[in-house]
Structure 1
Amino acid sequence: MTTTEIKQTPAAPTRLNFTKAAPKAFRAVIGLDAAAREGLDPTLVELVQIRASHVNHCAYCLHMHTSDARKAGESEERMHMVAVWREARHFFTEKEQAALALTDAVTLIAGAGLPDDVYARASAHFDDRELAQLLALIFTINTWNRIALATGKTAGEDERVS
């Protein structure tokens, strides 16, 4: 198989349509998502969502948020570097790096909690309101990742409200 050939395998069926099975819970997550984004740079929002989706291995959300970032004008180069942002820091501003470090720590919070140095770095770049919004965004994308993974959502299929 050459690098340009992609072997397609049939997607596993979605296990559960969360939107229809729990509409109030779905609307609550939609509301949190909308509220979390308020006042944050749209590019930063997508970088955070891409990073959390990498960490959580959520192909569905990764596909959606790279598509959204592309539409918002984000470069392919930076989107590729999000997965290895620590090794490719020069692609990201100090503020973006602080947000990505916070995303990693909060997404993997069970391992080491939220280290003081990561929190301090983020609070140096974001005021209290922005930091709270950023945390809410990270909480939200982690929730979406878990919904997509638990219900068997397939990347590239039905990526808008179902």
Structure 2
Amino acid sequence: MTVTDYVSVPVRLDFDAIAPGFSRAVSALDDAATAELDRVGIEPAVREVVRLRASQLNGCSYCVDMHARAARAAGVSAQRVDAVAVWVESGLFTERERAALDFTEQVTMMATTKVPEQSVRGVVAAFGEEGAAALLSLVIAINTWNAIGVATRCWPTAVRREG
């Protein structure tokens, strides 16, 4: 398949240009979440796996591409990046990562899941209360980015030549 064989997905709204103040506010929200993660020492690999899983669940092509690459850059093996979508069935994730991924899924799908107590207890046991709050901040931020990306398609996925 050549680059010219790819399908162009049209942008619906140039959100950053149309709502620049809100876009900056979401960026500040993301920066605040990252600062919380830094403060409690949650490593970049866990952060990117969480961002990737939420983006997969929300169907944000741009964010899936970005956070899969960021996860690999943070030291997550290609095999583990590929397995994020099926983490429940995969033995490639630690108990701590599994708690973060479960919590990510429960919060991302909260309209259905109502974020069960067991998920909250699991993430608190793995990361402590401050770590759980930092992860919640991250999940809220990535879900916000995903909502913008999916609704507007304002950030097309960049096509990179393989090889």
Q: Give the corresponding residue for 2:157.
A: 155
Q: Give the corresponding residue for 1:105.
A: 106
Q: How many equivalent residue pairs? A: 152
Return the match for 1:22 from 7, 19, 22: 19
* Deviating 4+ runs (over 6 angstroms): none
Gaps of 5+ in 2: none
Measured after TM superposition, the shift of residue 13 of structure 1 is 2.3
Greater percentage in helix: 2
Q: Partner amino acid for 2:33?
A: A
Between 59-68 and 14-23, the greater mean CA deviation after superposition: 14-23
Residues in 2 aligned to 1:8 and 1:34: alpha-carbon distance in whole angstroms: 37
Q: Partner amino acid for 1:56?
A: N
Task: Describe how 1:73-152 pairs up with structure 2 within 5 A.
Answer: 73-88=75-90, 90-152=91-153
8 Å CA contact 1:51, 1:83 repeated in 2? yes
Measured after TM superposition, the shift of residue 73 of structure 1 is 2.2
Residues in 1 aligned to 2:66 and 2:135: alpha-carbon distance in whole angstroms: 19
Q: Give the corresponding residue for 1:12.
A: 9
8 Å CA contact 1:43, 1:72 repeated in 2? yes
Measured after TM superposition, the shift of residue 154 of structure 1 is 2.2
Residues in 2 aligned to 1:54 and 1:13: alpha-carbon distance in whole angstroms: 20
- Give CA-to-partner distance per residue, 1:71-92, whole Å, 9 cap, x none: 222210000010000000x211
TM-score normalised by L of structure 2: 0.87
Residues in 2 aligned to 1:44 and 1:32: alpha-carbon distance in whole angstroms: 19
Gaps of 5+ in 1: 158-162
Residues in 2 aligned to 1:74 and 1:156: alpha-carbon distance in whole angstroms: 21
- SS at structure 2 position matched to 1:51: helix
Could you say what the CA RMSD is over the residues aligned between the two structures, in angstroms? 1.5
TM-score normalised by L of structure 1: 0.88
Q: Partner amino acid for 1:37?
A: T
Measured after TM superposition, the shift of residue 128 of structure 1 is 1.8
Task: Describe how 1:62-81 pairs up with structure 2 within 5 A.
Answer: 62-81=64-83
Q: Give the corresponding residue for 1:32.
A: 29
